[in-house]
Amino acid sequence: MIMQANIQEIFRSIQGEGFYAGTPTTFVRFSGCNLRCAYCDTKKSWRKTKYCAYQPVEFTRRWVRVPNEVAVADCADLILGLSPRGLVSFTGGEPLLHAGYIARVIKSLGGAYTYLIETNGTLPAAVRRLPDLPNIVYSIDIKNRGFVKFYQAVPRKSGKYVKIILTKKTEAEETLPTLREAGVSARTPIFLQPVDNKLDKKQLQKFMYILEKNGYTFKVIPQLHRFVHLK
């Protein structure tokens, strides 16, 4: 059976968030999400699209339309067409709604890439559909308590880091028990990112104080893609 997925866009730009911020990246943005965050900056990804927008020349504003659904082999070819190596981000929407598809794309492309799974951290069962490889890295948001099971489900060899998007509702006192229960250690980097780059200094100070007091490793970074618009 040919496996297919509804993909919004495949393009090359810089990674705007987390551990790889600033790194040239090929993005594969899937349709569909199991959450509806108020601050979502990719609401258009919630719905399926008739075409996948593909950028035939990397880092440009040129686009061609590829009919959806996109087969695994075609997705791998489109990624290869943009870069034969480097960082590939599977994003969305929620990419792990397409975990089986991603596993096949990774199998088809092999070891020349680092594969970043930019997930909302709420679908632990989907992680089991991906191979345990050191060149797969999970960027895990803390959206809710589902984070605990998700974090613990990430396979041993794969990389992982945690992203905390600071919105008006993000409370340090609520986040700390979640980190503790999941077993996040000082070896796992945590990235604090003010949503829309709107800094609430008091909130940020509180987060930094609490994380440092509890021995976590963190960095505060802006959402870079808000500054660098290549699309």
Residues that bind ligand SF4 (CB under 6 A): 33, 35-37, 40, 42, 45, 92-94, 120
124 annotated binding-site participant: no
Decide if 160 contacts 189 (C-beta within 8 A).
no
Nearest one of 120, 58, 121 to 86, comparing CA atoms: 58
205 annotated binding-site participant: no
Minimum CB distance to ligand SF4 smaller for 35 or for 53: 35
CB of 41 to ligand SF4, least distance (A): 7
CB of 1 to ligand SF4, least distance (A): 28
39 annotated binding-site participant: yes
How far apart, in whole angstroms, are the C-alpha atoms of residue 121 and residue 19? 16
Minimum CB distance to ligand SF4 smaller for 20 or for 135: 20
CB of 173 to ligand SF4, least distance (A): 22
How far apart, in whole angstroms, are the C-alpha atoms of residue 193 and residue 191? 6
CB of 212 to ligand SF4, least distance (A): 27
196 annotated binding-site participant: yes
Minimum CB distance to ligand SF4 smaller for 74 or for 118: 118
CB of 148 to ligand SF4, least distance (A): 17
How far apart, in whole angstroms, are the C-alpha atoms of residue 228 and residue 24? 12
How far apart, in whole angstroms, are the C-alpha atoms of residue 49 and residue 8? 6
Minimum CB distance to ligand SF4 smaller for 33 or for 182: 33
Decide if 195 contacts 221 (C-beta within 8 A).
no
Which residue is it, tokens 């999400």? 33
26 annotated binding-site participant: no
29 annotated binding-site participant: yes
Judged by DSSP in three states, 109 sits in helix
Residues making up the annotated binding site for Mg(2+) are: 42
Residues making up the annotated binding site are: 14-16, 29, 33, 37, 39-42, 91, 93, 193-196
Residues making up the annotated binding site for substrate are: 14-16, 29, 91
Residues making up the annotated binding site for [4Fe-4S] cluster are: 33, 37, 40
